[in-house]
Amino acid sequence: MKSKITVVGAGNVGAQCAYRLAQREAGDIVLIDIIEGVPQGKALDMSQSAAVEGFNSAILGTNNYEDTKDSAVVVVTAGLPRKPGMTREDLISKNAAITKSVVENVVKYSPNSVILMVANPLDILTYYALRVTQFPPQRILGMAPLLDAARMGYFIAQAAKVPINDVYAEVLGSHGDLMVPIPRLSTIKGKPITDILSAEQIKQIVDKTTNGGAEIVGLLKTGSAYYAPGAAAARMAESIVKDKKEVIGTCCYLTGQFGIKDVCLGVPAKLGKNGIEEIVEINLTAEEISALQKAATSVKSLYPLLNL
C-alpha cells in the first residue's frame, strides 16, 4: 500500500512539491487548499502529465481535510509569501494563524503523521507547530536548511566552475540573515572549498547564500522562490516516507544539542519513517557555535509574538 502525503497549500511552492513527489513516486498525493477549484485543477493537470512523465502516483485535489486522513507526512506550505521589503518577521502573526488552523486539522485527521513545515518565517513557525500540536519533537521539522545548502551549493559550483554533483554545502542556523554557512565543511569532490577558493570568493558565496531568497523576491517583485523550495520539501518528504535514513540539513527542535535548548534551528539530521531519527552533532568551532547561539537567541526573541 502506498503512503499518503498531504501538501497543504496549492500555491507555487505547494504545487511544485506535490508534482515533484508524484514524479518521484514517493506515494499518493493529496493537494489541499482553501480556494475552491485551485487544488482540483492543479491536481488534474499534474495527473494528465503522468503519461508523459511515466509516474503512477495518484494526485487528489481537495478543499476537505477529511481527504487527508491517515497521511504519513503532511507538508505545510500554506501561508503568505514575502513581498519586496518585507522581512520574515513581518509574516509571523498572519502565518501563525494559518499554521494553527492547518496543524489542528492535521492532529484531527492524521495524528500519527510527520509534519514538515515550509511556510515562513520557518524556524518560528516550526516551533509554533510543535507547541500547537504537542507532537513529539521528532515529528515536527522544517525544510529550510536543505534549501539554504542548495543555494550555497549552486554558488560554489558557479564560482569553481564545476558540476553541481561535485559539490557539498553545509548550512546551519536560522532561515534568514542569521543562517550559518560553514565553508570549511563545504566541499568540492570531498576537498574543503577553503583549500580551493579565495577568501573573497567564499565571502561572496556566503553573502549570496544569506541573501538568496531576498534576491529572488526582488527579481520577481510579486512573489518568492518556489522551484528550489518545492524540490527541497519533496526530497525531505520522500526521505521520510521511504525511510531512507539520509542525513539532511533540517530545522529541528533542540534539547541541548550544540549547547542550545528550546528552539528550532537548522542542523544535520537523519530522516526516516519516524521523522527526525537522530540529530547529528558535527564538530563546530567556537566561532560557529557562537553564530548558532546568536541565531537561537534571535528566534527565541520572537516567541512573545506567538501569544503561546
Which residues are catalytically annotated? 175
Helix axes 122-133, 92-109, angle to 10 degrees: 40
Report the C-alpha gap between 250 and 190 in whole angstroms: 22
- From first CA to last CA, the distance across the chain in angstroms is 39
Cβ atoms of residues 250 and 268 within 8 Å = yes
CA gap 253, 104 in Å, rounded: 19
Q: For residue 33, what are the β-bridge partners? A: none
Give dist(CA 299, CA 307) in Å, integer: 15
Cα(46)–Cα(43) distance, rounded to whole angstroms?
Answer: 5
